[in-house]
Structure 1
Amino acid sequence: MKPITAIDDPRYVKAMSHPVRVRIMAMLQERKASPNELSQWLGTTLGATAYHVRTLHKLGLIELVDETRVRGAVEHHYKAKARPKVTEENWSKASPVAKQAAVGSQLKMLEDYTNASAAAGGFDRADAVLERKTARLDDRGWKALTAEAAKFLERVDRIQADAAKRLTKAGDEGAIDAGVVLLGFESVPLSTQIPESKKKRTPMKRTRRASA
Structure 2
Amino acid sequence: MKPYSDITDPRLIKALAHPLRIRILAILEDRELASPNELSELLGVSLGVMSYHVRRLHALGFLELVKRTPRRGAIEHHYRAKARPKVSDEGWAETPAIVKRAMVGASLEQVSGYVNAAAAKGGFDNADAHLSRSVIQLDEQGWKELAGEMAKTLATIEKIEAESAERLRRTGDDDAAERSAGIVLMMFQAEGVAEEGSANGGEGQHLGRRSSRRPRPLHAAGVELD
| Aligned twin of 1:125 | 126
DSSP 3-state at the match of 1:68: strand
Deviations 1:46-99 (A, max 9, x none): 222222222222233322122333345432111223466533333222211222
How far did residue 33 of structure 1 move? Answer: 0.6
Counterpart CA distance in 2 for 1:6 and 1:125 is 38
How far did residue 148 of structure 1 move? Answer: 1.2
Equivalent residues of 2:13, 2:95 under 8 A apart:
no
How far did residue 178 of structure 1 move? Answer: 0.8
Counterpart CA distance in 1 for 2:155 and 2:57 is 29
DSSP 3-state at the match of 1:97: helix
Residues 21 and 128 (structure 1), Cα distance of their counterparts in 2 relative to 1, 3 Å cut: same
| Aligned twin of 1:162 | 163
Structure 1 residue ranges (4+ consecutive) displaced by more than 6 angstroms after TM superposition: none
Deviations 1:84-132 (A, max 9, x none): 6533333222211222233223222212321222222222212111111
Question: Is 1:63 matched with 2:64?
Answer: yes
How far did residue 147 of structure 1 move? Answer: 1.3
How far did residue 183 of structure 1 move? Answer: 0.5
| Aligned twin of 1:43 | 44
DSSP 3-state at the match of 2:79: strand
2:23 alignment partner AA: R
| Aligned twin of 2:116 | 115
Equivalent residues of 1:21, 1:56 under 8 A apart:
yes
Residues 84 and 161 (structure 1), Cα distance of their counterparts in 2 relative to 1, 3 Å cut: closer
Matches within 5 A, 1:1-212: 6-9=8-11, 12-13=13-14, 15-31=15-31, 32-82=33-83, 86-173=87-174, 174-188=177-191, 190-191=193-194
How far did residue 16 of structure 1 move? Answer: 3.4
| Aligned twin of 2:202 | none
Unaligned stretches of 5+ residues in structure 2 = 1-6, 198-226
Counterpart CA distance in 2 for 1:34 and 1:151 is 36
Equivalent residues of 2:35, 2:78 under 8 A apart:
yes
Deviations 1:164-184 (A, max 9, x none): 121112222210111111111
Residues 79 and 43 (structure 1), Cα distance of their counterparts in 2 relative to 1, 3 Å cut: same
| Aligned twin of 1:202 | none
Unaligned stretches of 5+ residues in structure 1 = 195-212
Residues 51 and 87 (structure 1), Cα distance of their counterparts in 2 relative to 1, 3 Å cut: closer
2:184 alignment partner AA: V
1:181 alignment partner AA: V
Equivalent residues of 1:22, 1:108 under 8 A apart:
no
Identity of matched residues, %: 47
Moved more, 77-86 or 129-138: 77-86
Equivalent residues of 2:17, 2:104 under 8 A apart:
no
Deviations 1:121-151 (A, max 9, x none): 2222121111111211111111111111111
Q: Which has the larger radius of gyration?
A: 1
With CA pairs under 8 Å and 6+ residues apart, which has the higher RCO, 1 or 2? 2
